[in-house]
Amino acid sequence: MSTPVLTAIAGGVARITLNRPEKRNALDRATIAALCSELRLCAVNAAVRVVQITGAGAVFCAGADLTEMQAQAHAGEAANLADAEQLAAMLAVLDSMPKPTLARVNGDGYGGRSDCWAPATSWW
C-alpha cells in the first residue's frame, strides 16, 4: 500500500499531496489521519511559511471514499462517531492553520457552502 499523503518542504513551501490517484484521491480514514498529522507538523514547523495541498494524478480530491462510506453503514454508532470526529479534527486543523494555505486544484473543482442554504428571496 502506498503512502496516502506525501509532504515535501522547500523554500518555505510545504507541498502536501493527496496520494491515492487510483481512488481519485478520495478521503478514507488513513488519508484523513495522515493529512491531519502533516498539517499539524506544518503548523509548528518554522521552516514552513506556506502550505500547498494538491492531488496526485488527474484529480485533486473526489471527496469521501464511497467504498469506505458503504462499509460505515454497517458499523456501530461509536465507530461512525469516531470517523466523524477524525474528519472534524482534520478540518479544524486546516481551518486554524496559522500559515497561508492554498489548494492547487488539478482537474475539476466543485465546492459548496453549508451556510448558503437559504430561501432564494434572502439572497437578493
Q: How far is CA 1 from the centre of its chain?
A: 19
Q: What pLDDT score does 123 carry?
A: 39
Q: Which of 64, 59, 63, 62 is nearest to 105 (CA)?
A: 59
Q: Is the distance from CB of 25 to CB of 77 less than 8 angstroms?
A: no
Mean pLDDT of the chain: 88
Determine the 3-state secondary structure of 68 from DSSP. helix
Between strands 5-10 and 101-104, the pairing is: unpaired
> For the segment 54-105, what is each residue's pLDDT rounded down to a tens digit?
999 999 999 899 998 888 888 899 998 999 999 999 999 999 999 999 999 9
pTM of the model: 0.85
Place of cell 481512488: 23
Structure confidence at residue 26 (pLDDT)? 93
DSSP symbols for 7-24: EEEETTEEEEEE--GGGT
Strands (E), 2-119: 5-10, 13-18, 50-55, 101-104
Q: At 27, is the secondary structure helix, strand, or coil?
A: strand
